[in-house]
Structure 1
Amino acid sequence: MSDKNVVMITGAAGWLGGLLPKALVNDSKTPNVHLILADVVEPKAPEGVKSVIFKADLTDPAEIDKLFNTELGTPDTIYCLHGIMSRGSEDNFDLGLKVNIDSIREMLQAARKYGSKVSTPIKFIFTSSLAVYGGPLPQVVKPDTIATPEGAYGMGKLSSELLVNEFSRRGFVDGRIVRLPTIVVRPGFPSAATSAFLSGIIREPLKGVEAICPVGDSLDSPKLNLAAWVASPEVTIKNLVVAKHIPADKFLKHTRVVCLPGFTTTVREELEALEKVAGKDALNLVKFKDDPTNRRIVSSWPARFDNSYPLSLGFVVDGGGMVPIVEQVKKDIEAGIA
């Protein structure tokens, strides 16, 4: 048995991919972790950890192959986090297909190839999205709710989910598919995700900067009652680590999909939390510019889920709604880490 845990992370230069290595280093169940980090721009490795860094085109099978032929050997676990975000996929359909489907299939084929040479299949943790849902939905989404995406991003994610499930059914990989809630509040700069404004309307005003809200035309607009299923960054990272440790036989027999726990909030509740934590001046920095395309996509996503299945697997959920999340972001900004 190897005395090290080798973990590969694609999309490692992204926000989640950048936070995950430190969480794994601090995870008592992943001792002596070694990292293979890859992205289209060079990722950064945590200090004091044996790491191999790649600036790689993950749509190129030859580039993917290199990830499995490092001095660290075959990874025990792969976190497949890379992708083109929701609005980016909608605006550049062909690129979305190439990155969100084709490159995932190539990653799975490589994991199958190299995993067949070791004693157990590679754990393949794939981050999916609520964007796989669309159309008429029940009041509360459950594990048996059918996914019918209404956008290119959700279609790509669902297609790759099916691939991960099939590769798992055949024993090629040990797949774990986690559908992430919308994560609020993301640090840094606005992304090409359709849901990015849900972070922006909190983050930017807390920095003293104006933010555009693409839902509604004023604080009085009924469109601000648009609901979303969300989770904090801290809980999301914890759950990505938890996903690594769940025994394969604990998942439903017919699918490796798990909708990670979250809670329901609305655009209005976010703005109310902003005002409560930072005052009226911060709230006044939110400007309204209604975007029907953005609003249509976000409103097609479900906003209420049954958390019982993921909680039974050991995943965790936020408590306290939006106010503690906004308070934490304010502290992080004041400390210069957000």
Structure 2
Amino acid sequence: MTTSTILITGAAGWLGGLLSDALIADARTPNVRFILADIVEPKAPKNVEAVTIKADLTAKDPIDALFNTKLGIPDTIYCLHGIMSRGSEDNFDLGLKVNVDSIRLMLQAAREYGPKADAPIKFVFTSSLAVYGGPLPHVVTPDTIATPEGAYGMGKLTSELLVNEFSRRGFIDGRIIRLPTIVVRPGVPSAATSAFISGVIREPLKGIESLCPIGNSIDDPALELPSWVASPETTIKNFVQAMHVPGDKFLKHTRVVCLPGFTATVRDELEALEKVGGKKALDLVKFKDDPINRRIVSSWPPRFDNTYPLSLGFHVDEGGMEPIVRQFQKDIEAGIA
């Protein structure tokens, strides 16, 4: 039976844990085993072979070590690690170090060790719709030019160009997935500029106050701010699908795929929150407009053409915000959110 050896960086994060479980459950990846790395040691999944590594991935030697474990050279890499959007904006140098320099070192390692494998290493890089900015069409298509207006988007776009070039030269088999804003994220708020998009649902459903940085009241027109979103469940399905798309199915000039999503305004979220959690939950949302947050989020496009990613087998949510909020409520009740 063929063995799949998968390296996941950023594996200690929430998405990293969900991804390893999804890959184990995926019938297309039999006999899977993992090399899991992060700045804190990841937790190994049960009943599969795994190596867990605590490492600073901004230096060459720790990255080289990922390719020299007892499991040998990975055939697939999921490059998930990074400094989130507001963190990159507030600490520009750290953002460059983690979101650009570290990715370049990962690519160079995949290039160096790839010839020792049977085929170029598949390199799945998670990017973001933060690569967009400036004047945009009403609906973003694969032809829309990315011009970021924040440090996070700049770092992601820079690394995208590297992944494309390394793929063009045959050093790796890259696939770049630009993620929608994932809602609802469990756990504590992250340093992402978009963290409030989950926070205005997550905390109120747990009986905790949440601060919305868009607008100053429930009646503020600023709440019509739209975002491009997807559920965690659908996003993880698409992570798995990314490694299974044949390389020759991507567009010739780029390995970028904007993952499918749908448009939801802040008001759409709050209306779904009230339907699921009642007025008691809605009243826990407080408002204090943050111009920096609003500027960054407003620069991201809220509408995309899903035609291309759906043609590659990626998935999309159906039914808008309410089913997602109801699922999160069920996760809270089950003790898994």
Q: Which of the five TM-score ranges fits, normalised by the shorter chain? A: over 0.9
Q: Within the alignment, does 1:213 sit opposite 2:212 as a pair?
A: yes
Structure 1, gaps ≥5 residues long: none
Distance of 1:3 and 1:277 partners within structure 2: 45
What is the letter of the counterpart of residue 244 of structure 2? H
Q: Percent identity?
A: 77
Encode CA deviations 1:250-301: one digit per residue, 9 max, x unaligned.
Answer: 0000000000000000000000000001100000000001000000000000
Q: Within the alignment, does 1:293 sit opposite 2:288 as a pair?
A: no
Distance of 2:188 and 2:335 partners within structure 1: 14
Query: Residue 257 of structure 2 aligns with which residue?
Result: 258
Q: Within the alignment, does 1:163 sit opposite 2:159 as a pair?
A: no
Q: Within the alignment, does 1:125 sit opposite 2:109 as a pair?
A: no
What RMSD, in angstroms, separates the aligned Cα atoms of the two structures?
0.6
Q: Within the alignment, does 1:139 sit opposite 2:138 as a pair?
A: yes
Distance of 1:139 and 1:46 partners within structure 2: 43
SS of the counterpart of 1:258? strand
Question: What TM-score, normalized by structure 2, do the two folds share?
Answer: 1.00
Query: Residue 152 of structure 1 aligns with which residue?
Result: 151
What is the letter of the counterpart of residue 73 of structure 1? G
What is the letter of the counterpart of residue 200 of structure 2? I
Q: How does 1:156-195 map to 2 (within 5 A)?
A: 156-195=155-194
Distance of 2:116 and 2:68 partners within structure 1: 13
On the 8 A contact 2:260/2:315 being kept in 1, the answer is: yes
SS of the counterpart of 1:116? helix
Encode CA deviations 1:219-268: one digit per residue, 9 max, x unaligned.
Answer: 10000000000000000000000001000000000000000000000000
On the 8 A contact 1:190/1:196 being kept in 2, the answer is: yes
On the 8 A contact 1:76/1:122 being kept in 2, the answer is: yes
Distance of 1:109 and 1:28 partners within structure 2: 31
Query: Residue 68 of structure 2 aligns with which residue?
Result: 69
SS of the counterpart of 2:274? helix
On the 8 A contact 1:21/1:45 being kept in 2, the answer is: no
Q: Within the alignment, does 1:92 sit opposite 2:75 as a pair?
A: no
Residue 15 of structure 1 and its aligned partner are, at CA, apart by 1.1
SS of the counterpart of 1:228? strand
Query: Residue 326 of structure 1 aligns with which residue?
Result: 325
Distance of 1:313 and 1:141 partners within structure 2: 17
Residue 63 of structure 1 and its aligned partner are, at CA, apart by 0.3
Distance of 1:116 and 1:212 partners within structure 2: 50
Residue 3 of structure 1 and its aligned partner are, at CA, apart by 2.7
On the 8 A contact 2:75/2:117 being kept in 1, the answer is: no
Residue 27 of structure 1 and its aligned partner are, at CA, apart by 0.4
SS of the counterpart of 1:146? coil
Residue 118 of structure 1 and its aligned partner are, at CA, apart by 1.6
Structure 2, gaps ≥5 residues long: none
Query: Residue 82 of structure 2 aligns with which residue?
Result: 83
On the 8 A contact 1:122/1:173 being kept in 2, the answer is: yes
Moved over 6 A (4+): none
Residue 117 of structure 1 and its aligned partner are, at CA, apart by 1.3
Q: Give the total of aligned pairs.
A: 337
What is the letter of the counterpart of residue 249 of structure 2? K
What is the letter of the counterpart of residue 129 of structure 1? S
Question: What TM-score, normalized by structure 1, do the two folds share?
Answer: 0.99
On the 8 A contact 1:86/1:152 being kept in 2, the answer is: yes
Distance of 1:45 and 1:324 partners within structure 2: 31
Distance of 1:45 and 1:332 partners within structure 2: 22
Distance of 2:56 and 2:292 partners within structure 1: 30
Residue 195 of structure 1 and its aligned partner are, at CA, apart by 0.1
Encode CA deviations 1:153-180: one digit per residue, 9 max, x unaligned.
Answer: 0000000000000000000000000000
Query: Residue 43 of structure 2 aligns with which residue?
Result: 44
Residue 116 of structure 1 and its aligned partner are, at CA, apart by 1.2
Q: Within the alignment, does 1:104 sit opposite 2:85 as a pair?
A: no
Residue 119 of structure 1 and its aligned partner are, at CA, apart by 1.9
Residue 45 of structure 1 and its aligned partner are, at CA, apart by 1.4
